[in-house]
Amino acid sequence: MTVLAEGLDALDLRGRIVSEVVRIADADDLLEAVQFVFSDEQSLALTVWTDWRLMAELRSDAVVPEYLWPVENRTLTAIEGFAGAGKAVGEVVPRLNDAGMLVEVRIVLDGRPILVKSFGGDLILELG
């Protein structure tokens, strides 16, 4: 695995083709990350970091990130309506908090928004 970009640099995604959007959960089915898998097998992983910011990581693979330990206790579930035929990223809108940290990203795939945000240390996913 290679990290290609982090933070706001990882969100330079306009025009990329997403083959699926995956929910990564722990053994209690609590959402830990959202992963956008691209047609070239790269991925964007979004998760809440220890300082409660939203961590965005563009990766060279589409597996569970190793910091979600133990990896074998994580489940990946494709989000219905965002799997199968490739969907183009049309818009990416990040939101920063007062300290300049990334806390929210809205990604629009073929006109359908997906909002991923950090709120009180929890990862929130809202589908439009």
The H or E element containing residue 77 is strand 75-96
Q: Once rounded to an integer, what is the mean pLDDT over residues 104-120?
A: 95
* Summary mean pLDDT of the chain: 93
Q: Once rounded to an integer, what is the mean pLDDT over residues 65-89?
A: 87
CA 46 to the chain's CA centroid? 3
| For residue 94, cis peptide bond before it (omega within 30 degrees of 0) | no
pLDDT digits (tens, 9 = 90+) for 60-76: 999 999 889 888 899 99
* HSE-CB of 8 using CA atoms within 13 angstroms: 7
Which whole-number Å values give the CA distances from 57 to 42, 73, 96, 110, in the listed order?
11, 21, 16, 22
Q: Which of 6-10, 51-55, 67-71 has the lowest mean pLDDT?
A: 67-71
- Spans of all domains in the chain: 3-127
